[in-house]
Amino acid sequence: MDQQEITADFLKNELQTGITFADLALTAKHDDRRERNKANARKAYDTALRFMDTHSPTPEITTELKDRLKHLRDQLKKLGESI
């Protein structure tokens, strides 16, 4: 596995983790859980953005990463985050 594949896998996992945290925040019944999961989702979003700027994946992977990033961004906006 080369560095490009490792970075792409990291980004996919980071974005999926952020999506999971955002899902948990959107369905949380308690404010503290909602805020904690929202913060974790935002951290994953910010981390993915930082690494995406330094990564040049294949067009197929780029499309997948952008789709996941958009999905996470949309969820964060529903949670009241300004992005």
Residue 33 forms part of a structural domain? yes
Query: In this predicted model, which residue has the larger pLDDT, 83 or 12?
Result: 12
Residue 72 forms part of a structural domain? yes
- pTM, whole model, 2 decimals? 0.93
Give residue-wise pLDDT tens across range 13-26: 999 999 999 999 99
Number of domains within the chain: 1
Res 74 pLDDT > 80: yes
Residue 83 forms part of a structural domain? no
DSSP, residue by residue, 4-51? HHHHHHHHHHHHHHHHHHHHHHHH-SSHHHHHHHHHHHHHHHHHHHHH
- Residue 38 sits in which domain range? 3-78
Residue 63 forms part of a structural domain? yes
Distance CA 3, CA 43 (A): 23
Res 56 pLDDT > 80: no
Residue 73 forms part of a structural domain? yes
Opening angle at CA 21, ends 68 and 57, nearest 5: 25
Query: In this predicted model, which residue has the larger pLDDT, 67 or 59?
Result: 67
